[in-house]
A and B are shown apart, each in its own frame.
Chain A
Amino acid sequence: MSEPSGSNSASALLPVVPFLKIPETGDPYLEGHKCQDCGAVFIGERDNCSSCASRDHLKPVRLSNDGELYVFSIVHRSFPGIEVPYVSAVVDLEGGGTVKGNLINVEPDPEKIKMGMPVEVVYQTAPRKDAEGNEYLTYYFQPRG
Chain B
Amino acid sequence: MSDVYILGVDMIKFGRFPETSVPKLGATAALMALDDAGLNIKDMEALYCGNLGQAGAMVGQRVLAEIGQTGIPVVNCANACATGATAFREGWMAIKAGVYDVVLAVGVEQMGKGLLGGGGPKKGIPTEGLLGSGTMPCVFAEAGMEHSRKYGTSFEQFAKVSVKNHHHSTLNPKAMYQIETPLDTVMNAEMISYPNTKLMCSVNVDGSAAAVLISERKLKEIGSKRAVKVRASILTSDPYQERNLTMPDVNTCTQQAAAKAYEMAGVGPEDIDLVELHDCFATAEILHYGNLGLGKPEDAGRMIDEGETAHGGRIPVNVSGGLLSKGHPLGATGIANIYEVSTHLRGEAGKRQVEGATFGLTHVIGLGSACGIHILEKV
A12 adjacent to chain B (CB < 8 Å): no
Which of B118, B124, B142, B143 is within 8 Å of A79, CB to CB?
A: B118
Verify B246–A98 contact, CB threshold 8 A: yes
- A126–B142 Cα gap in the complex (Å)? 24
Which among A16, A72, A78, A126 has the highest number of chain B CB atoms within 10 Å? Answer: A78
Verify A16–B242 contact, CB threshold 8 A: no
Which of A42, A78, A83, A138 is within 8 Å of B118, CB to CB?
A: A78
Count how many chain B residues have C-beta atoms less than 8 Å from C-beta atoms of the other chain: 37
A84 adjacent to chain B (CB < 8 Å): yes
Given contacts A16-B124, A79-B118, A110-B195, contact A72 B145 (CB under 8 A): yes
- A107–B130 Cα gap in the complex (Å)? 16
Which of B145, B190, B240 is within 8 Å of A77, CB to CB?
A: B190
Chain B interface, >50% SS class: loop
Verify A76–B240 contact, CB threshold 8 A: no
Which of B127, B128, B138 is within 8 Å of A17, CB to CB?
A: B127
Given contacts A71-B149, A101-B131, A129-B125, contact A78 B115 (CB under 8 A): yes
A101 to chain B, nearest CB (A): 5
A58 adjacent to chain B (CB < 8 Å): no
Which among A70, A71, A83, A127 has the highest number of chain B CB atoms within 10 Å? Answer: A71
Count how many chain A residues have C-beta atoms less than 8 Å from C-beta atoms of the other chain: 43
The 8 A CB mask of A37-54 against B (1 = contact, 0 = none) is 000111100000011000
The 8 A CB mask of A68-110 against B (1 = contact, 0 = none) is 0011111111110011101011101000001111100000001
A123 adjacent to chain B (CB < 8 Å): no
Given contacts A72-B142, A110-B155, contact A88 B133 (CB under 8 A): yes
Which of A14, A99, A139 is within 8 Å of B124, CB to CB?
A: A14
Verify B246–A100 contact, CB threshold 8 A: yes
Which among A17, A77, A84, A129 has the highest number of chain B CB atoms within 10 Å? Answer: A77
B192 adjacent to chain A (CB < 8 Å): yes
Which of A14, A51, A71, A138 is within 8 Å of B247, CB to CB?
A: A71
Q: Within 8 Å CB of A14, what residues of B?
A: 124
* Residues 341-356 of B contacting A (Cβ, < 8 Å): none
Verify B129–A138 contact, CB threshold 8 A: no
- A111–B240 Cα gap in the complex (Å)? 32
- A102–B130 Cα gap in the complex (Å)? 6
Verify B240–A75 contact, CB threshold 8 A: no
Which of B121, B131, B191 is within 8 Å of A138, CB to CB?
A: B131
B117 to chain A, nearest CB (A): 10
Verify A99–B130 contact, CB threshold 8 A: no
The 8 A CB mask of B125-151 against A (1 = contact, 0 = none) is 111111111010110011101101100
Verify A73–B138 contact, CB threshold 8 A: yes
A5 to chain B, nearest CB (A): 15
Which among A41, A76, A115, A138 has the highest number of chain B CB atoms within 10 Å? Answer: A76
Verify A126–B146 contact, CB threshold 8 A: no
Verify B243–A128 contact, CB threshold 8 A: no
Which of B133, B141, B145, B247 is within 8 Å of A78, CB to CB?
A: B133
Which among A42, A50, A73 has the highest number of chain B CB atoms within 10 Å? Answer: A73
Q: Within 8 Å CB of A84, what residues of B?
A: 129
B255 adjacent to chain A (CB < 8 Å): no
Verify B242–A40 contact, CB threshold 8 A: yes
B17 adjacent to chain A (CB < 8 Å): no
- A42–B94 Cα gap in the complex (Å)? 38
Which residue on A lies nearest to B240, using beta carbons?
A: A51
Which residue on B lies nearest to A130, using beta carbons?
A: B125
Verify B115–A90 contact, CB threshold 8 A: no
Given contacts A16-B130, A100-B131, contact A70 B138 (CB under 8 A): no
Verify A73–B141 contact, CB threshold 8 A: yes
- Besides A90-B243, A138-B130, 8 more A-B contacts (Cβ < 8 Å) are A72-B145, A90-B142, A98-B247, A100-B247, A101-B130, A101-B132, A128-B130, A138-B131
Q: 8 smallest A-B Cβ distances: which pairs?
A: A88-B132, A73-B141, A82-B129, A74-B194, A71-B145, A88-B133, A100-B132, A51-B240
22 A-B residue pairings within 8 Å (CB atoms): A16-B125, A43-B246, A50-B240, A71-B142, A71-B143, A72-B142, A73-B196, A75-B192, A76-B193, A78-B115, A78-B128, A78-B129, A79-B135, A92-B243, A98-B242, A100-B131, A100-B246, A101-B130, A102-B131, A110-B194, A127-B130, A136-B125
Residues in A lying within 8 Å of B, measured CB to CB: 14, 16-17, 40-43, 50-51, 70-79, 82-84, 86, 88-90, 92, 98-102, 110, 115-116, 126-130, 136, 138-139
Residues in B lying within 8 Å of A, measured CB to CB: 115, 118, 121, 124-133, 135, 137-138, 141-143, 145-146, 148-149, 155, 190-196, 240, 242-243, 245-247
